[in-house]
Structures are given as structure tokens and as C-alpha cells.
Amino acid sequence: MYTALYRRFRPSDFDEVVGQEAIVTSLKNQIKNNMVSHAYLFTGSRGTGKTSMAKIFAKAVNCLEPIDGNPCNHCKNCLAIANGDSTDIIEIDAASNNGVNNIRELREDVKYPPSVGKYRVYIIDEVHMLSQGAFNALLKTLEEPPAYIIFILATTDPQKVPVTISSRCQRYDFKRIPANRIVDRLMDISKEVNITLQPEAALLIARKAEGALRDALSILDECIAFCGSTIARNDVLEVLGITAEDSLAEIIKALNERDASRCVGIVDQEYMNGKDPAQFTRDLIGILRDLLFIKTVNGPKEMLDLPESEYKSLNMLSSMMDIREIIRIIDALTETEHSLRYATQPLIVLETSLIKLCLGAELAEDAAPKEDNSIIQRTTEHALSGTQNKDINRPVKKDKVPENRDKGNDIKGQKASLAKAEPDRGFDKLKSAWPNILSSAKQKSMVLFAYLTEGTPVGFDGSTLKISYKSDGSFFREEMEKPENSEIVENIIKEITGLNVKMECIIEGENEKEDEFMARVFEVFDGMDIKIMKE
Amino acid sequence: MGFNDVLGADHIFEIFKNEASFSNVYIITGERGAGKGLAAREIAKYLNCTGGNRPCDTCRNCKSIEAGSFPDVYMLTQNRSIGVDEIRDIIEKSIVRPYTSRYNVFIINKAHTMTSEAQNAILKTLEECHGDNIFLLLADSTDALLPTIRSRAQVLSMRRANEEELTDMLMKRYNIDKQKALFAARFSKGVVGKAVMLLEPDHIEFRQKVFDIIDRLRNAKPYDVFDMYGILKPDRETAGDMLDIMESFYRDLLMINHDKYEFIINADKQSYLLNYSGFPDDRLVHIIERIEEMRRFVAFNSNIQLTFDVLFLDILGV
């Protein structure tokens, strides 16, 4: 029977753990100086060595003759633990034993001292899945366990661990493992299992593993299962369903040139080759991110972990593109990736979003008018045919006011010019007299003055004075419009300026909206008799 | 059934043929209808078969696996999402050694519907299971699985069946003429389950009705729209199919705008599609996006009739 590589090559002492030197040093020193704490919390993303480290630590504290803090792996305690025979190491899967009852059992258990070794070590893995009650039930035991007990909690999700738990533990954050360290480890292991792994292939695996050694080894396992004893970069691409860089680069070029046909052609080709659209989108985002790095970061080469040839071709590609364009594409694709999760026909979603990207700016400007013309055309035809008039008063979308906006402006313009013609002089007179009007209103009634100061006179057509209020001033408007108030003001105006004036109060901006709306109404119901009735 | 009857899985079977190379935990991915379940069952048979040419389909083990009554093959299939209780059940069973054969095979159908508690609960079991346990998690894609699961398993993906193979198989199994089989093979893009579904008379009729609706939408007045829902009255289940067909139609128009005739999905309607001109790209993109949005609405329990009314109005450009 074959054992997965990540199990077969699980580190057996501290020195074999890759990429966590700081944690290894402090744990070793604790063991050497006999300063072992009673509770530890190991956190970090998957495959960084939390459980492995916990197991090594458990061995080391019970080892009969530790070497420099490392477990010897020869003494009977080490062997018993390695074989899983020891009763002193208890590994608990907190995700499937997450209730408060499981923790109560554990608390009962804690009373008994170790049978062989020096310590009883509880490794509570996936501890973030414990229920609220279970966490709380653990608190007191975790704080003051018997001297022979050590707890090691391990989790990928430290936010879910209550602070009352983490404050009782020594916390160690496991870092993601750098790609070059993963490459080294992969090369070592492949040598040991007699596999020829090409360095570029190892690099690709390491990149795809995202800092998790276990992911890297799982991928290596998959590659071995498919390709046998020699693994090249192309094999890894094939196994992982990653789209090869050249067709990704080809798509990006096509996007840059707004060539929708070519984009669609490439995507469909890749789909027929068995690529998953979601994976394809992620690959595309990945390469765009690399491009963005090349364009913006100092010394991108070291940060990208790319083989020389590919770096060169990306560098070429990046010189052709604009940063904003790259960001635009990344934004759009990120959204696509999200909607792909719900899609039942992912290919169509991806194609559509690529075509949309190619349409680019045109879409925003052109789409609306075209759409709108068609309705108006249709509805006019319809109106002329004179059947079922009722159907037409459906709501019209606001944001799609098309070219006839100009016509709307025309109408407004006409109105304005009509109003402006002769009464300009009267308005100037009113305006200059406004402070006087205000002060005499103040003498008559303080409340009235308050209502009046909120508004500003905005127009006068010879008989009607328009006073405009801000949109939040509808209260003042209403008060001002009451006959008993407006009459007083009208009288004051007559006294001061000698003009016979009717007051009309409006809310700022309301009229324009109305005009615009009316313009649309006239447009849509073109040729029909329209009566306007106000409430 | 045997290995040869499952299309697009040869590379997967190859792994299991070599005793020294297969490991314990696999995620098998593929679209709906790609044949993941069939492949998994064949693997289970192969591993436990006592006959000569494995899987022989004639020995007792094969037969009882086929019938779902073999004690060492545990198949978890349920329509609602998979919760932590089902997983605990599996964990318990995984501790017991196989009764009659060499391997305990656990097949988890629709593994992507496992709740996050369920996925967390099975982590440790996947990582440290006994050598005679084989876990096969079948999922539409790995996206819905926790990265911590993905990292403990090997991912195998089903391949699309090749056109000739699929045509042959459809002809043989369903006794139909070559022309029909060829269309189904093309339309399904090599997804076997889809091809089979396409040949069902019910589906053919359904699809034709959807096309009728699309056709009526072409010259409809806005108020006509409200009658259209009544033509099919899709429920929550069929609403998705209907949206799929509509989406594929407008997508084909998009392809025609870009002269990509070879990628047309509704190949049998090509002449009709070619006559259906006058939709610019941006309108089509808008329509397809709206259809995707409607799909989400339907999933979130919106009123289906309203959803479709709105969609039809939108397609009209109102």
C-alpha cells in the first residue's frame, strides 16, 4: 500500500521542519532549559507544520535522552509515540469532537498522570471548531492543569479562538513556507523516491502550493500518479489543469487590443481541451498580477519565483500594457470569478465577461441610447396604432435618458427664455430690496422672518415671485405657502417696492426633475393628446 | 458496466490499477453529468472484485456493490447538504476494518455540499486514515471545498468524452440513429450525462418551447410579456434549465457576431440563429448578465413568475 508523500515524509525531529526556524529555536530552548509551558497555541495556514511540530514537541518532552532539544527517535518512548502506541500522547480531533461533553471527558482524563513518560500531552487539532460551550469548559483546565499536562492547540483559524483561550497559551504563528524552501524539499524527496523532477516543474508546484508544504507534496503525488518517474513542467501544468502561459499571454494581448473574437476563440479552445473556466480565470488573474508587479515593484524578479524564460516574456508583455488597463481587467475578472461560483454554464459567463472587457468604454456610453431608441420607437408605433393605451404607463428607467435629453433641455430653455423676457428689471428691484423686505418682516413677526430667511428669491415673471428652499426645507415652504403668511409678505413687498406680487414657493431642484420627466413623457407619448393635471 | 463503459475516466482508472501507486484520499471533480458517480463505483468494484478480469461484474462482490448492498463500500448520497452527523458516521465506520474484502471504500457524493463543520470534522480522518480506507470525494469543483481538504487529497478530474466514443456509446445504448447521437454528443460538449438528457423526448419538447418563447420575444410588445410565463410555467427546478437554454441562445448570437461558427452550442438551430440578427454585442452581454442575475434570484427564493417577467422585459429592452 502506498502512503501519501506528505505522511511518509512527515518530519520526525525539529531539524526536519522546513521554514519555521524561529519557532523551532524557541521550542528547543524551552526543552533544553526545562522551561516547558503547559499550554501552546499553534496557528498558521494549512500545511505549514503545526501538527507535525506538535507531534515532535510531544516526543521531545517525553524523550529519555534528547539531543540538543531534539527527540532521539530511538528510545522506547520515542518509538512508542512514533508507532502511535503511547498512552501519554492524546491527539484529539476537535472538529468532530467539538461539544462540551467531549471537553468534560477530557477534564476527567486530565487527573491521571502519564503512564511511562514525563508528560501527558494533549494535541487538540482544528481547535477553532470547538463550540462556545466547549471552549469555556476548557478555560480553567487550560489555565491550571496538573504539572504533568501539556496542551497543544492547533488551528488554521485563530480568529475563531476566543481571546480567553489564546491569552492562556503561548502562541506561535507559523509562516507560509517560501517557494525556494519548498523547491529544495521537493527535490530532496523526489530524489529519495527515485523520481526525476525538473527544477522548473518543482518551482511551478511550489508556486501553486501557496506556501503550504503539504499542498506541494499532494500535487507531487498527483504528478507521480499521472506521469511516472520523470516530471517536467508541462506535466505539472497538465495535471493541475493550469492553462499554459502562452495562451494566457495570447488572451491578455487580445484583451489589450480589444479583439473579442480572438479572446473567445482561445477560451473555447482551452475549454475543449478540458480546462475549467474558473481555474482559467484564476490563472489569468495570476498572470495579470505578475504583470502588475513587473510594472510597479522594484526588483520584481526576486519576488515572482518565475523561470527566466517566462519572466522575459512577461516583461515583454508588460511593456505593451497600461497599468490602469491591467487593473481594470483584474477587477472585472475578480467579479467574474465570483459569479462563476453560481454559474451552471461557466463557459458562457467567462466568454461574456471577456467580450464585455473588449467592448470596454464603448459599452457605458453606447448601450443606453441604443436600447432606449428601440423602446421609444416601439412604443410610438404602438401608440399610433391606438390599441390598449393603458399598457404604456409603465415606469421608465431613469438612467437611460438618451439623446432626447437635449430636447428636454430645449424645452427647458424655451421656458426659461419666456420667463426671462421683460420681468428682469422687476426681479433686480426685488432682489435689491430683499434685505429691506426681510427686516420689515422681522418687525411684523419673528416667525415669519425665520420662514423667509430660509428661502432665496430665484425668479420673477412679472406677477409671481419664486422663492426656492433647500431640499430639507419643505417645512418652511409649507408654512410660507399658508395664505395668512404669504399675504403678509406680499403686502410688505407691495409697501417697499410697489410691485403687485404673488408668492410661489418651490423646493430646489424639484422643478428640473419634473421638467425632465415631462420631457420624457412627451417623448414617449409623442403625437398623443396629453393633459397635465396637478393635484 | 466495466471500465470501458465509463467515458473520460481512463486516466483515473489507470491509477488504481497499480497497487503500489494509489493513495487513500481522492477528490474526483467534473461537471454535473460527467460520470463521477459511475467512475467511483467502478473503482470500488475494481478494488474489491474477486473475479479474473477486474471489475468482472459477475462475482458476488461486484454484484452487491452494483446493488448498493456491499458492506465495505459506503456510499453517501443525499440531496440536502451533508452535515457533521453524516461525517461522524463515516468516521466511525472508517475505524472498523473491512469485513469481507481488502478495502473500505467511502464514496461521498456531492462533497461540495458538505457544510464547513462537516468538512472540518473529516480533516483528521482524511489525513491519518488507515491504509485500507479509500476516500473518494465527488465534487463539481474544488472551489466549494476548504483549502485544508484540498491540501490533504489528490485531485482527479474527469475528462470530456471524445466525440466519436460518445456517439458510439449513445447509439449502442439508446438505439438511435447516428445523426441524433452526433448532435447530442456535440451539444453536450462531451459531458455524458448531458448528452443522455438531451435525448429524452421531454427535454426536446421543453427546449423547443423555450425557443418559441425567444421567438415570440422578438416582435413582442411590452404588454405581451406577461403572457409568456404561462407557456412553460417553470418551477424552481426547471427555471434553471430554461435560463440555461436562453443563455446558450444569446451566447450563440454573440458567437455569430464574432464569426465563431464552430463554437455554436445550438448547432441544430444554426440557420435560425443566423436569421436572428440585429443584436449588438453590448445588448447581448447585458442580457446574459441579466440571466445570470436571475439565476441567483431564483436560487434565493424569489417569485419565479416575477423574475421571468422582469427578464423578458429586459430582453425587450424596456
CATH number at residue B217: 1.20.272
CATH label of the domain that carries residue B14: 3.40.50.300
Are residues B34 and B142 both part of a single domain?
Answer: yes
Q: How confident is the model at residue A412 (pLDDT cuts 50, 70, 90)?
A: very low
ipTM over 0.85? The verdict is no
pLDDT at B138: 95
| Interface contact flag, B151 A367, Cβ < 8 Å | no
Are both B132 and B221 inside the same structural domain? no
The pLDDT, as a whole number, for residue A172 is: 96
Strand order across the A120-125 sheet: A89-93, A120-125, A149-155, A39-44, A170-174
pLDDT given for residue A1 in this prediction: 66
d(CA A298, CA A296): 7
- Give yes or no for residue A404 having a pLDDT over 50: no
| Contact across the interface for B289 and A264, Cβ inside 8 Å | no
Distance CA B179, CA B193 (A): 18
- Residue B285, chain A, CB below 8 Å: the answer is yes
Q: pLDDT grade, residue A334 (50/70/90)?
A: very high
Integer Cα distance of A44 and B267 in angstroms = 51
Q: Answer whether B254 sits within 8 Å of A352, measured CB to CB.
A: yes
Mutate to test the interface with A, among B10, B22, B47, B120 (most CBs of A within 10 A): B120
Q: Identify the residue with better confidence: A339 or A472.
A: A339
CB A1 within 8 A of CB B131: yes
Question: Could you please report the per-residue DSSP string of A409-440?
Answer: HHHHHHHHHHHHTTTHHHHHHHHHHHHHHHHH
- The whole-number pLDDT of residue A512 equals 66
* pLDDT reading at A364 higher than 60: no
**Domain for residue B260, yes or no?**
yes
- Residue B178 included in any domain: no
The whole-angstrom separation of Cα A431 and Cα A296 is 58
Sheet containing strand A464-469, strands side by side: A456-460, A464-469, A502-507
Backbone phi, psi, residue A196, to 5°: -95, 110
What is the distance between the alpha carbons of residues A262 and A265, in angstroms, rounded to a whole number?
Answer: 5
At A535 the pLDDT is: 59
Nearest by CB: B285 against A215, A225, A355: A355
Segments in chain B below pLDDT 50: none
Interface of B with A in 90-119 (CB under 8 A): 91, 117
* Gap between the Cα atoms of B190 and A199, Å rounded: 35
Of B157, B182, B216, at which residue does a domain stop? B157
Residue A22 CA to residue A53 CA, distance in Å, equals 12
A367 touches chain B (CB under 8 A): yes
**pLDDT confidence of A442, banded at 50, 70, 90?**
confident
Residue A44 has pLDDT above 90, yes or no: yes
- For residue A67, give the DSSP letter: B
| pLDDT number for residue A462 | 74
Assess whether B147 and B211 both reside in one domain. no
Mutate to test the interface with B, among A128, A129, A222, A348 (most CBs of B within 10 A): A348
| Contacts of residue A293, Cβ cutoff 8 Å, sequence gap at least 6 | A300, A303, A304
Looking at residue A167, its pLDDT comes to 95
Chain B residues within 8 A of A96 when measuring between CB atoms: 84, 87-88, 91, 120-122, 124-125
Q: Contact B43/B74 with Cβ under 8 angstroms?
A: no
Nearest-CB residue to B280 (from A98, A272, A370)? A370
Q: Which three cell numbers stand for residue A458?
A: 430665484
For chain B positions 208-267, those within 8 Å of chain A (CB to CB) are 221-223, 240, 244, 247-248, 251, 254-255, 258-260, 263
Residue among A98, A50, A93 at smallest CA distance from B122: A93
Asked if B137 and B10 sit in the same domain, the reply is yes
Cβ-based contacts of B251 with chain A (< 8 Å): 345, 348, 351-352
Report the residue from B32, B159, B248 with minimal CB separation from A274.
B159
Q: Is the pLDDT of residue A123 over 70?
A: yes
Which three-class secondary structure state does DSSP give residue A39?
strand
Query: In this structure, are B216 and B288 located in the same domain?
Result: yes
Residue B274 lies in a domain: yes
Together in a domain, B143 and B204: no
| Between A64 and A433, the higher pLDDT residue | A64
Asked whether the predicted pLDDT for residue A407 surpasses 60, the reply is no
Residue A406 phi, psi dihedral angles, 5° rounding: -60, -45
Which residues of B fall within a CB distance of 8 Å from A274? Answer: 157, 159-160
CA dist A1 to A265, B103, B132, Å? Answer: 45, 11, 8
The answer to whether B316 and B225 are in contact (CB under 8 A) is yes
Model confidence over A481-512: pLDDT tens digits? 888 888 888 888 888 877 788 888 877 766 66
A355/B280 CB distance under 8 A: no
Q: Residue B74: CB partners within 8 Å, gap ≥ 6?
A: B90, B93, B104, B105, B106, B107
* Partner-chain contact A226 B15, CB within 8 Å: yes
Query: Are the beta carbons of B169 and B185 closer than 8 angstroms?
Result: no
Instruction: Specify whether B216 is located in the same domain as B118.
Output: no
A197-242 pLDDT per residue, tens: 999 999 999 988 989 999 999 999 999 888 888 999 989 988 888 8
Domain count across chain B:
2
Place of cell 440555461: B244
Task: Identify the pLDDT of residue A388.
Answer: 43
Average pLDDT, chain A: 83
Q: How far apart are CA B107 and CA B132, in angstroms?
A: 14
Q: Choose among A1, A370, A391: nearest Cβ to B223.
A: A391
Q: Is the pLDDT of residue A181 over 90?
A: yes
Q: Do A341 and B22 touch (CB under 8 A)?
A: no
pLDDT in the model for residue B76 = 92
Task: Report whether pLDDT(A420) > 50.
Answer: no
User: CA angle at residue A93 from A85 to A3, to 5 degrees?
Assistant: 60
Q: Are residues B152 and B204 in the same domain?
A: no
Does the pLDDT at position A372 exceed 60? Answer: no
Handedness of CA B102, B108, B112, B115 (dihedral sign): negative
pLDDT of residue B183: 76
Q: Give pLDDT, residue B139.
A: 92
Give the CA distances from residue B13 to residues A273, A529, B259, B272, in Å, rounded to whole numbers and listed in that order: 20, 76, 40, 43
Q: In the structure, what pLDDT confidence band is assigned to residue A126 with cuts at 50, 70 and 90? A: very high
Residues 139 to 168 of A: which have CB under 8 A from any B CB? 156
pLDDT (0 to 100) of residue A393: 45
B235 located within any domain: yes
Per-residue model confidence (pLDDT) at position B110: 92
Q: So what's the pLDDT on residue A196?
A: 93
User: B188 lies in a domain?
Assistant: no
CB pairs < 8 Å spanning A and B: 175
Could you say which of B102, B132, B157 is where a domain stops? B157
Is residue B68 one of the residues assigned to a domain? yes
Residues A88, A119 contacting (CB under 8 angstroms): yes
Choose the most confident range, by mean pLDDT, from A64-68, A171-175, A389-393.
A171-175
Question: Quick one: pLDDT at residue A423?
Answer: 53
Residues of B in contact with A382 (CB under 8 A): 221
**What span, in angstroms and rounded, lies between the C-alpha atoms of B232 and B220?**
17
Mean pLDDT is lowest, of A327-341, A388-402, B279-293, for: A388-402
The C-alpha of A82 sits at a distance from chain B's nearest C-alpha, in angstroms, of: 13
- Looking at residue A383, its pLDDT comes to 47
A57: nearest Cα among A185, A169, A177, A150 = A150
Q: Which of helix, strand or coil describes residue A2?
A: coil
- For residue A367, the model assigns a pLDDT of 44
The span from the CA of A249 to the CA of A320, in Å, is 12
Mind telling me how many Å the CA of A428 is from chain B's nearest CA? Answer: 47
**Among B157, B190, B209, which residue terminates a domain?**
B157
**Residue bearing the bigger pLDDT, A358 or A481:** A358
Q: Which of residues 252-271 of A touch B (CB under 8 A)?
A: 260-261, 264-265, 268, 271
Q: Based on the domain organization, do B131 and B226 belong to the same domain?
A: no
Assigned domain for B174 exists: no
In this structure, what are the phi and psi dihedrals at residue A531, rounded to the nearest 5 degrees?
-110, 135
Shared domain check, B36 and B132:
yes
Confidence of residue A361 (pLDDT cuts 50, 70, 90): low
Burial (0-12, 13-18, 19+ Cβ within 10 Å), A60: buried
Which residues 331-350 on chain A approach chain B with CB closer than 8 angstroms?
Answer: 339, 341-345, 348-349
Of B130, B121, B129, give the one whose Cα is nearest residue B148.
Answer: B121
Cβ atoms of A292 and A323 within 8 Å: the answer is yes
Give the structural domain span for B216.
200-316
Does residue B26 share a domain with residue B122?
yes
Q: What is the structure's pLDDT at A510?
A: 67
* Claim to verify: residue B207 and residue B148 sit in the same structural domain: no
B305: in domain: yes
* Grid cell in block for residue A477: 415652504
Place A527 in a pLDDT band, splitting at 50, 70 and 90: low
Distances (CA, A) of A157 to A44, A117, B120, B146: 7, 31, 11, 12
Q: List alpha helices for A386-509, DSSP H.
A: 404-420, 424-444, 446-454, 474-481, 483-497
Nearest neighbour of B282 by CB, restricted to A129, A215, A363: A363
pLDDT of A392 higher than 80: no
